[in-house]
Amino acid sequence: MKTINGKAYAFAAPHQSRDIESIRVQDLIYSDHKTFSDWVLVGEATISVSLYSREEITSGLIASLRAQQQEIRAKAQASITALDDRINNLLAITNQLEEFA
């Protein structure tokens, strides 16, 4: 496992930046730029990252892509179901009109 080290700026959400004593490492966002959207710069960090193996990263990426596929399929199926409902409603109206004619 490869480890990389570096420095970054630490940012807290505006509502957290007032209560410095209660800020935790996991509450912060880190960047190599001195500005980060509407977050407040609260300090600097020395970061050490143990990188996963290429296989683990690839596996995680594949899992993420498969999850995206499932989400797209679910949205597409919901759209198809809505279209089927509209078609069936129109067919029902057409059949009712033919019955009355």
Per-residue pLDDT of the chain in tens (101 residues, 90 and over written 9): 899 999 999 999 998 877 888 899 999 999 999 988 899 999 999 999 999 999 999 999 999 999 999 999 999 999 999 999 999 999 988 777 777 76
Q: How far is CA 43 from CA 4, 11, 73, 93, in A?
A: 20, 7, 43, 67
pTM over 0.85: no
Residue 25's nearest CA partner among 46, 54, 3, 56 is 46
Question: Residue 101: its pLDDT value, please?
Answer: 63
